Structure 1
């Protein structure tokens, strides 16, 4: 039994070659799977970017940009401040005159609850 038959030797060599081929096939499959995943990731990212860009375009068309809204709010605030300043300037003298009239136009009179002392005669 020291010398095995050539048939068994051939079977062992064939089995070794077969397992090597199976291992190579597994490695090739894993490599193809990894490449397919990377390719799919690139496609997904591209599609996501397209969808997001379309959404942003539609949002800016419908709502306007945030800068436009900020500019409109700033303009409105400035307009209100200007109107309040104009109204204050117009009514300033009227208020001063009214306060002076109330302070200087003193009419001394007794309070309604005050009663004169009764004389005892």
Structure 2
């Protein structure tokens, strides 16, 4: 009977060791999952920062070229305004003379469609 009780004791001890090993394995698994999650978060953060950096570089290039274009357009506009002012100053006198001659030099004529009625 003692050999049976010893066998039962050994089985109970083996069961306890197995439970302990299972709990320890579960703890290791939990730690490893937590570690994997932290590593994944670090990787995603690093990737996100890299992509944001690339985005900001592209954005600054685009904004830089847009400001360059707006400066160029502003310069062209000012040049066109100067050209129009020169043209206005050159033609102003001749246009005023034409207008005055048309208004002041009237020739009295009978209109072509006028019919004399008796």
TM bucket (normalised to shorter chain) is 0.7 to 0.9
Q: Does 1:108 align with 2:108?
A: yes
TM-score w.r.t. structure 2 length?
A: 0.75
CA offsets per residue over residues 4-25 of structure 1, 9 Å max, x none?
9312321331132022112112
Segments of structure 2 that go 5 or more residues without pairing to the other structure are: none
TM-score w.r.t. structure 1 length?
A: 0.73
What is the 5 A alignment of 1:1-121?
A: 5-45=8-48, 47-48=50-51, 51-52=54-55, 65-118=65-118
Q: How many residues align?
A: 112
CA distance in 2, matches of 1:8, 1:93: 122
* RMSD of equivalent CA atoms: 2.8
More helix by proportion, 1 or 2? Answer: 2
Deviates more, 1:3-12 or 1:23-32: 3-12
